[in-house]
Each structure stands twice: as structure tokens, then as C-alpha cells.
A and B are shown apart, each in its own frame.
Chain A
Amino acid sequence: MNQLSMAQIILLSLFAFFQINEIITLGIGFGNPVNAGLIAGLIVGDMKLGLAVGATLQLMILGVGTFGGASIPDYATGAIIGTAIAHISGKGINYGIGVGIPVGLLMVQLDILARFANTYFAHRINRAIGKNDDKAVVRNSLYGAIPWGISRALPVFLVLIFGESFVKNVLNYLPQWLMGGLKAAGTMLPAVGIAILMHYLPIKKFAAYIIFGFIGAAYLKIPMLGVALAGVGFAILYYQKLMNSNGEQPHIKGDGLDTEKAKELGIGEEITGDEE
């Protein structure tokens, strides 16, 4: 059982505030679960724990973004809370994952709330334009950072302030069947992320390449970076072929995401999200 100092709790909350605002603007990726886990791990003083929790959550949402303003499970906040709770409890990685998943799923509701709250600033902008107050327009175009940030920072702060004693109590009663089950879930759940991603991408068109990738990793034991490099090679050949085939020009949409399909899968219904 470890303790988190007040400074650590505040740092984790500030990071939660920062990461969401970073990912919706510049987007270098502090808000990607694996990176959020890394930083949360560094803050609590157990980098490997944070990395492993973040990586598992990352795999559940690989390649999925907030396209068109859709709300997706917030596994970055899940990774922060999961890492911190796993550290406090001393129960290890799988416990962190078990905490992180429900947190990430529940955070969808707060994401929706933040996006709703920002409608207020949109109205204030319209009023400011009516008064020709350009400074107010600019100000209100920035204020949205507050609902975004609070929606992430507040849960982290509250869970960690009040969570510690709660976690201790829960741990005393948490049965082995559930702990072991969560551990097993940690190994199985990346399959969900990968299946979602496969729905996103034109998997049938490029079926051959998924097999190449599999053979490379499973039989030839090439590390991930090596397989990715082979993929870059295939991609260059394909690009050259496309650019050389005169006449038939693909239109700008390309053949990328099937966002309609994604909507169907509920990877972010906007307001009416039917998350349980």
C-alpha cells in the first residue's frame, strides 16, 4: 500500500487538465493513453506500471479518434486514474487496467457534458459579434479550455483525494474470482480495439497485407518496427503505382476511414450516445 502526496495528486490533476486540451489542438499526443500512462507513471514514481496500464488501454482504442466530434472512451483519464490506483493499492498492472477501463467508459458522459457546456461560449460569441466586441469573441473562443480541462481534472482529483481509503476498503473485500477475471480481461480486451479498428479500415481491400503483417510477426518474429518498415515499403510501391496509373484519378476522399460504419458502431454517438 503506497501513499500519494498532495503534490502528486495535484500534478496528476493538472496533467489531466493539460492532456485533453493538448490533444484537441496541437495534438502531439500527451492524451494518447500510452503516453498519459507514461507520464502518470513518472508522477507516481512507477514508470513501468504507467506504461503497461496505458499500453493496454491504448490498444483498446488504437486508431480511433474523436472524428467529427464523436465522444470516445477516455482511456487517457482511465490510464491516469488506473495507474494511480494501482500504485496506491500495490496490486499491480492488471488491477490498474481493471480500474482504467470502467473509468474510461464512464468518462464519455463527462466528455459530452464538456462539449455541451461549450455551447454557452458559442452563444456568447454570437452576442459579442452583435456588439462588435472582437476582444470578447477571442476570449470566448479560448474559455472552452476550462470545461474540457475540468471534465478530466476534477474526476482525477476527487478519486485520488477520497479514493485512497475507499480503495483500501474495497481491496479487503475484492474476491479472487474478480481480480483474476480482470487480469484475464486485460489479455483479451486488446482484441476489441483491434476489431473496432478493422471495421474502420478498408480491411477487405487490403486483406493481403494483414496476412503479410501477421506472418512477419507470428512466424518470422520480426519486431513491430520491422513489420512497420516492410509496410512502408509496400505503401511506397502502392503509391507509385497509383500516381503512375494515368487517367483514373481517385477523388479526394481516398479510401480511408469508414466513418459511417464507425457511427453505426457507436464510436461516439454525439448527444444521444447510448453508453450504459
Chain B
Amino acid sequence: MKNETTARPVQKLTKKDLRSANIRWIFTSSLSWNYETMMAPGYVGSQMPILRRLYGNDPEKMKRMMALQAEFFNTSPHMGSIIQGIDIALEEQQGTAAEDAIRGVKTGLMGPFAAVGDTLLGTVQSTIFGAIASYMALKGNPTGSILWMGALAALYIWGFTWMPFAYKRGVELVTTMSSRLAALTDAATLLGVTVIGALIPTVININVPFVFKVGKVTMKLQTTLNQIMPSLVPILLVAFVYWLLDRKHMNSTRATWFVLILAIVLYNLKIVG
């Protein structure tokens, strides 16, 4: 973490250019997301302050670099800030000569960064906070929701420093970050899995009003089940859907419809209610 390149050979960009590019990316990255070039519109739009500064007085170069930045691009939005920072550092130093390097950095990093971003900033974050928020919300309490949005606001305010950081460190950042990010992703995933374990007994409250009648003896099924294990029905249902999703021709939408219909049938058989 000590080999920062503070003395840059060339310094063409102003602080304002960098700030503007940073803010543009964070607020517009996926606005024109489309099936053809995905995030490319957001990327080229966000890089415009940089492109104007570097090639503003050379229409040919400007055209070429705009076309480069409008090529297919897709990653996890906030992780894109890091790629943007590295790209800008390269471009400032080498200009159009960096064309291949820029293309390499963008296409080379967008996949791995998407994987890390989708895991940490997508799944794990929303599993943990979403579980807490939903758990509280079901009790009519908005605190969990507010906590969730507050935590993300704090995280993404910090996120405004990622692009400048990547710009300062340049390409070498990737090697130093790689193992840390992987370990962090793994550890956070572990946390997400722990929360899922707690989620099953707390948010799935299936009521089983079914009553056995054998001669004079009546037995409530729910009571029997609870004696075996708390939340046995939710566990079995989750296990069943987990298994179901692995079947051929099954996808999440079909599984949702299936359980919806199953619930209506079981309700009318007076098994659940």
C-alpha cells in the first residue's frame, strides 16, 4: 500500500474533470442500458469531461476515443468506478496510444469486477439487510428499511472515493486488490449464508390447522410437528423448492406459480391456512 505514484509525469486533467466524470458515472451508469452495448452509453457519457479535456482540440482523436468508449461494456455499477479510474489514469499518461490498453483494462476487468460487485454489493448486502428489513417490516416496523437505506447511503458516499483512488493507483491496484477482494467476498458470503439459516424459521410462518381424528383421539398436526423440530414445515418447503428448482424445465417463475397454486390447493384441503 506504500508504492503510490504521487509524482505523475503528465498532469492534464483538472480536479473538476475527475469529479465530474466520477459523479456522472455514479448517477447515470445504467440509464441507457440496452441489450446491444449494455452500459456503454453510460460509460462514454461519463468519460466525456475527460475526453473533452484530452482531445477537445483534435476532432479525429476525439471521434476515435468516443467510439472506443462507446464499445460494449457491462459490470457492477459501483465497481465500474474503479475501472473508470484506471482507464482515466492510462488515458492521461498515454492518450490515444493507450487505446489497446484501455480496451484490455475495460474488457479484462469488467467480468471479475462484476462477479465481486454482484456478490458483495448485490446478493450479500441485500440478503443481510433485506432479511433484517423484511423481518422488522412484517412486524410493522420501518426501522430495518431505514437502516438498510442508511447503510447503503453511507457505503456509496464512500463509493465516491473509489474512482479517485483507482486513478491514483492505476493498473497496479488490480494486483494488490485481487486477493483481498476475493477473501472479503468469501467472508461476506459466509455471513449471508448464516442469515439465511435464521431467515427460514423467522419469516416463513406456515400455519397447519390440520387435525387428526382417530376414534376419540384428536391430534393437532402442528403440535406434533413442533415437537419434532421448530419450523419443520418451512424447512421441508424450502428443501422441496430447492430440489424443484433443479428439475428440468423448471425456473424461478414456474416455481413461484407452482407454489402459489399449491398454496391455494392446500388451503382448500384445510391443510394450511
Contact = CB atoms under 8 A, between A and B. Distances in A.
A200 to B, nearest CB: 6
A257 B115 CA distance: 7
B118 to A, nearest CB: 5
B201 A217 contact: yes
Contact of A265 (B133, B136, B207, B251): B251
Contact of A125 (B70, B186, B266): B70
Interface string A189-217: 11110111111111100100111111111
A101 B195 contact: no
Interface stretch (B8-16, B94-102, B173-181, B212-220): B173-181
A32 B125 CA distance: 12
Nearest to B264: A181
B237 to A, nearest CB: 4
Contacts of B41: 118, 121-122, 125, 140-141, 144
B191 A188 contact: no
Nearest to A203: B193
Contacts of A160: none
B156 interface: yes
Nearest to B65: A129
Interface in B201-236: 201-207, 230-231, 234-235
A158 interface: no
B104 interface: no
Interface residues of A, number: 129
A267 interface: yes
A182 B127 CA distance: 25
A218 interface: yes
Interface stretch (A7-15, A33-41, A84-92, A166-174): A33-41
B206 A35 contact: no
A217 B235 CA distance: 13
B134 interface: yes
Which among B142, B152, B204 has the greatest number of chain A C-beta atoms within 10 A? B142
A138 to B, nearest CB: 5
Interface stretch (B28-36, B84-92, B162-170): B28-36
Contacts, number: 447
Given A195-B241, A202-B189, A256-B116, A187 B196 contact: no
Contact of B182 (A194, A199, A209, A254): A254
Given A27-B156, A185-B260, A255-B186, A137 B198 contact: no
Contact of A51 (B145, B178, B255): B145
Contacts of A145: 31-32
A259 interface: yes
From DSSP, what is the main secondary structure of chain A's interface residues? helix
A185 B184 CA distance: 37
Contact of A143 (B32, B177, B185): B32
Given A58-B130, A197-B127, A239-B187, A38 B145 contact: yes
A143 B267 CA distance: 48
Contact of A254 (B33, B185, B262): B185
Interface string A67-103: 1110001000000000000000000000000000100
B152 A29 contact: yes
B54 interface: no
A181 B40 CA distance: 46
Which among B34, B177, B241 has the greatest number of chain A C-beta atoms within 10 A? B34
A223 B252 CA distance: 29
Given A105-B256, A198-B196, A206-B194, 7 more contacts: A58-B130, A132-B62, A141-B44, A143-B32, A242-B183, A252-B182, A256-B120
29 contacts: A26-B156, A27-B78, A28-B156, A48-B140, A52-B137, A55-B138, A121-B32, A129-B63, A140-B45, A182-B264, A191-B204, A202-B189, A209-B193, A210-B194, A217-B198, A231-B192, A231-B195, A238-B186, A239-B186, A242-B182, A243-B183, A249-B178, A252-B178, A254-B189, A255-B189, A256-B115, A256-B116, A256-B185, A266-B252
Query: Lowest 9 A-B CB distances belong to which pairs?
Result: A213-B197, A266-B251, A141-B45, A256-B119, A181-B264, A144-B32, A254-B185, A231-B194, A185-B263
Interface of B: 26-38, 40-42, 44-46, 48, 51-52, 59, 62-63, 66-67, 70, 74, 77-78, 112, 114-116, 118-124, 126-128, 130-138, 140-142, 144-145, 148-149, 152-153, 156, 177-207, 230-231, 234-235, 237-238, 241-242, 244-245, 250-257, 259-260, 262-268, 272-273
